[in-house]
Amino acid sequence: MSSSASSSAMKSMFDPKLVKPAIAESFKKLAPQIQWRNPVMFVVYLGSILTTMFLIKSLFGKDEAASGFIALVSIWLWFTVLFANFAEAMAEGRSKAQAASLRSAKKNVVAKKLANESRESAVTLTDSNSLRRGDLLLVEAGDMIPADGEVVDGIASVNEAAITGESAPVIRESGGDFSAVTGGTQVLSDWIVMRVSVNPGEAFLDRMIAMVEGAKRQKTPNEIALTILLVALTIVFLLVTVTLLPFSMFGVSAVGAGSPPSVTVLISLLVCLIPTTIAGLLSAIGVAGMSRMMQANVIATSGRAVEAAGDVNVLLLDKTGTITLGNRQASTFIPANGVTEHALADAAQLASLNDETPEGRSVVVLAKIRFNIREREIATLGATFIPFTAQTRMSGVHLKDGDRQREILKGAASAIKQHVENLGGVFTADINQKVDDVARRGSTPLVVADDKVVLGVVELKDIVKGGIKERFSELRRMGITTIMITGDNRLTAAAIAAEAGVDDFLAEATPEAKLKLIRDYQAEGKLVAMTGDGTNDAPALAQADVAVAMNTGTQAAKEAGNMVDLDSNPTKLIEIVEIGKQMLMTRGSLTTFSIANDVAKYFAIIPAAFASTFPALNALNIMHLGSPNSAILSAVIFNALIIIVLIPLALKGVAYKAIGAQQLLRRNLLIYGLGGLVVPFIGIKIIDAALTSVGFA
């Protein structure tokens, strides 16, 4: 990142519109019922209250320690609590700002309720808040879509900018995987009849707002485990600190000299010993992870999904649109023996005249480029077009040529072979060889037949995306297995998989095969991530640990997934895994820093705390701090300030690098472990020098 980009990111992070509410929220979070949610910081909170009580007592001449010292310790303990609150409030503020922008898209509009699925049926105007699942609505050009639902009739151009942030309109139509519409979007042209799929309060926009609100975030399993560890460390140090006072009093009475440390000093010692740095930032890290998903235009319906993304072992990736550019294009006509290339091109073009898919249009274009074969008027051909279905895996045209009837079909080799043989024709070894040759090149063979005569093969090329092989190499270094999912035959799938650099592939994939593959990996103890958009993907999405549904997909897919990609970009799955990894890396890095930080603080505060009781401990004062009181106060001040210093890192996340677990551990220990040891020595020494210079002793 350039310095200008970094500075602009920092400015946006500390935007006054976020900072001012966060400061106010920091004070609101001082309520005991809120502080109790973070046990480590609750101990600091209690310490702040106790030192404040000692300060009040000192004002009445009952000094537990020097009143100025107590006052400063008390103030900085309260700052420690407030700074931790501020870190969480800043993270929540960013999420709330995102939620506010989403909430502005949620409007109460008038809905046109229909009596049945016909556009011509009776229309009743009703409030969108009163709509229920199953209601049928008419939405025309200029109308807002009142609720989430499925298009049952019609086709329309829809502006989804309020949801996705993209200004380009999208097409929504009945049937297929582009029938889902979202409340709060607007129909720009034409009309649709839609069936409402949710009740009030259950809409996609409602769920987005609820999940983006950081305050409603559930703690993830790893976060809970880390919290338990931090609480255990706090209890251990609490017991140690509590026992130090009687031991010190016993030591003083035995030696007959010196004085035991004050309770204020022991509270300061406890606060500096317990892992306050990571405890104060832990919630902010989790909220920021959800926020970064939102910035990537991904809505996570579960905090567990964000964390699971960081622990994923296996990625299931669709070939088309993810690994390849999609929109396969016809590149070559390969005629059968005894058939001219022109005859094959003419037949393939006839079979594709009504095929509006990118592949079908590319066949027509290639025939025009190669042989100047022009599109013919449909009416003059007496043609009846045969649509493609998943069952037949063929499409084409039925022609009346005088008394003769012809049926030209194009489709998968296995489907054309079965069709030709059923008519008494022969699928020759020559055609088989041509099909295999095309498949080995990583292309898709499209076989063309005129009645029972096979004319040849059209080669459809699918281009592997640039840079995708390097991305997969990075994932492999991180220990993640990549698996390509495709409906192509094994030869084609193997060629594309080799070119893309994936670890494995599943060819001729069915919903059952995807589901079985996921369960097999999960049975080995691995976490699986996948994307999907169709109803047939719903079972596998429901089974996957990280399931990213496309926003353009069906309602069934979105309900089965635990994330929704508003951009409907299948390659986003790789970015999602990186965001999850970054959140875990941030948490691990700051935990390493916090624990190392505490070790360094021991050398500052322990010699100072017990110098009056055990003078021999002065030998451990390797930092040569000015006085016991300034040493203790310096450690307390540093303990508070370091939370503020680390807030940008907690919110932004540590720099992501695709490295293995061992390299990551070494990097953490070198940067954050060593840094956590060195920084406190420097920071405490600087603060102590400042206190000494103003005459504090």
482 falls within a domain:
yes
Residue written as tokens 């807030």? 647
43 falls within a domain:
yes
**Are the CB atoms for 501 and 526 separated by under 8 Å?**
no
Distance between CA atoms of residues 290 and 351, nearest Å:
49
Task: For residue 695, give both structure tokens.
Answer: 């005459």
At a CB cut-off of 8 Å and minimum separation 6, what does 393 contact? 411, 412, 414, 415
Q: From the centroid of its chain, how far is CA 361?
A: 36
CATH number at residue 368: 3.40.1110.10
Question: For residue 644, what pLDDT band results from cuts at 50, 70 and 90?
Answer: very high
Residues 605-634 have a mean pLDDT of 72
Distance between CA atoms of residues 554 and 179, nearest Å:
6
- How would DSSP label each residue in 126-150? EEGGG--TT-EEEEETTPBP-S-EE
205 falls within a domain:
no
What is the number of other CB atoms lying within 10 angstroms of the CB of residue 21? Answer: 16
- Strands of 170-222 (E only): list them: 170-173, 180-181, 186-196
384 annotated to a ligand binding site: no
209 falls within a domain:
no
pLDDT at 256 over 60: no
Same-domain pairing of 239 and 264: yes
Q: Tell me the H-state helices in 313-399.
A: 341-352, 358-371, 378-381
Short-list 269, 280, 277, 279, CA closest to 240: 269
Q: From the centroid of its chain, how far is CA 190?
A: 35
Question: For residue 73, what pLDDT band results from cuts at 50, 70 and 90?
Answer: very high
pLDDT recorded at residue 75:
95
Among 49-58, 236-245, 283-292, the range scoring the smallest mean pLDDT is 283-292
pLDDT recorded at residue 244:
76
What percent of the chain lies above the pLDDT cut of 70?
A: 83
CATH number at residue 319: 3.40.50.1000
393 annotated to a ligand binding site: yes
48 annotated to a ligand binding site: no
Q: Give 495 or 232, the one with higher predicted confidence.
A: 232
388 annotated to a ligand binding site: yes
pLDDT recorded at residue 255:
56
392 annotated to a ligand binding site: yes
Question: For residue 95, what pLDDT band results from cuts at 50, 70 and 90?
Answer: low
> Domain ends where: 200, 231, 256?
200
Distance between CA atoms of residues 571 and 467, nearest Å:
12
Strand 149-159 and strand 170-173: the pairing is antiparallel
562 falls within a domain:
yes
What is the number of other CB atoms lying within 10 angstroms of the CB of residue 578? Answer: 22
Same-domain pairing of 84 and 154: no
Question: For residue 207, what pLDDT band results from cuts at 50, 70 and 90?
Answer: low
451 annotated to a ligand binding site: no
pLDDT recorded at residue 65:
65
In the chain, % helix, strand, coil (3-state, to 5) comes to 55, 15, 30
Is the whole model's pTM more than 0.85, yes or no? no
What percent of the chain lies above the pLDDT cut of 90?
A: 15
pLDDT recorded at residue 254:
60
Phi, psi dihedrals of residue 320, rounded to the nearest 5° = -70, 125
pLDDT recorded at residue 136:
92
Same-domain pairing of 45 and 69: yes
Short-list 329, 326, 384, 379, CA closest to 351: 384
Over the stretch 437-493, which tens digit does the pLDDT of each residue have?
A: 888 877 888 999 988 899 999 998 877 777 788 888 888 887 889 898 887 778 778
391 annotated to a ligand binding site: yes
| Degrees to nearest 5, angle at CA 365 with 363 and 369 | 115
Same-domain pairing of 224 and 79: yes
Residue written as tokens 């305050």? 215
Same-domain pairing of 75 and 37: yes
Same-domain pairing of 335 and 456: yes
Same-domain pairing of 443 and 497: no
Residue 395 host element (H or E): strand 394-401
Same-domain pairing of 267 and 190: no
**Beta pairing partners, 549:** 532, 564
Same-domain pairing of 88 and 122: no
Q: How many residues does the chain have?
A: 697
395 annotated to a ligand binding site: yes
pLDDT recorded at residue 164:
61
394 annotated to a ligand binding site: yes
At a CB cut-off of 8 Å and minimum separation 6, what does 697 contact? 626, 627, 629, 630
Same-domain pairing of 21 and 50: yes
Measured CA to CA in angstroms, residue 450 lies from 344, 430, 594, 603 at distances of 9, 17, 74, 88
pLDDT recorded at residue 608:
67
311 annotated to a ligand binding site: no
Over the stretch 155-192, which tens digit does the pLDDT of each residue have?
A: 888 887 766 655 567 788 887 667 788 887 888 888 89
Q: How far apart are the first and last CA of the chain?
A: 45
572 falls within a domain:
no
Distance between CA atoms of residues 285 and 528, nearest Å:
24
At a CB cut-off of 8 Å and minimum separation 6, what does 372 contact? none
pLDDT recorded at residue 465:
76
pLDDT mean across residues, the chain: 81
519 falls within a domain:
yes
> Domain ends where: 510, 534, 566?
566
Phi, psi dihedrals of residue 563, rounded to the nearest 5° = -145, 150
Residues 355-378 have a mean pLDDT of 80
Distance between CA atoms of residues 8 and 574, nearest Å:
26
* 63 flagged as catalytic: no
> Domain ends where: 537, 566, 595?
566
Q: Containing domain of residue 163, as a range? A: 110-200
**Are the CB atoms for 108 and 128 separated by under 8 Å?**
yes
220 three-state secondary structure: coil
Same-domain pairing of 561 and 618: no
Over the stretch 406-440, which tens digit does the pLDDT of each residue have?
A: 888 998 898 899 999 988 888 889 999 999 888 88
**Are the CB atoms for 275 and 596 separated by under 8 Å?**
no
Question: For residue 251, what pLDDT band results from cuts at 50, 70 and 90?
Answer: low
Distance between CA atoms of residues 337 and 651, nearest Å:
66
Task: For residue 299, give both structure tokens.
Answer: 């809505």
Over the stretch 15-58, which tens digit does the pLDDT of each residue have?
A: 677 788 889 989 999 999 989 988 999 999 999 999 999 888 88
Residue 152 host element (H or E): strand 149-159
pLDDT recorded at residue 2:
40
pLDDT at 217 over 60: no
389 annotated to a ligand binding site: yes
Over the stretch 527-568, which tens digit does the pLDDT of each residue have?
A: 898 887 777 788 888 898 888 888 767 777 777 888 888 777
pLDDT recorded at residue 30:
92
Distance between CA atoms of residues 604 and 601, nearest Å:
5
CATH number at residue 128: 2.70.150.10
The radius of gyration of the chain from alpha carbons, rounded to an integer in Å, stands at 34
470 annotated to a ligand binding site: no
Total number of domains in the chain: 4
pLDDT recorded at residue 642:
93
At a CB cut-off of 8 Å and minimum separation 6, what does 328 contact? 320, 358, 359, 362, 443, 444, 460, 461, 462
Residue type, 554: T
Residues 630-648 have a mean pLDDT of 90
Q: Tell me the H-state helices in 538-571.
A: 538-543, 555-560
**Are the CB atoms for 335 and 455 separated by under 8 Å?**
yes
What is the per-residue burial (b if ≥16 Cβ within 10 Å, else e) of 531-550?
Answer: bbbbbbbbbbbbbbbbbbbb
Phi, psi dihedrals of residue 93, rounded to the nearest 5° = -60, -40
| Degrees to nearest 5, angle at CA 448 with 444 and 452 | 140
Same-domain pairing of 654 and 689: yes
Task: For residue 675, give both structure tokens.
Answer: 């840094």
User: Which entry of 135, 153, 318, 598 is annotated as an active-site residue?
Assistant: 318
307 falls within a domain:
no
Task: For residue 111, give both structure tokens.
Answer: 């809905």
Q: Residue 424 has what DSSP assignment?
A: T
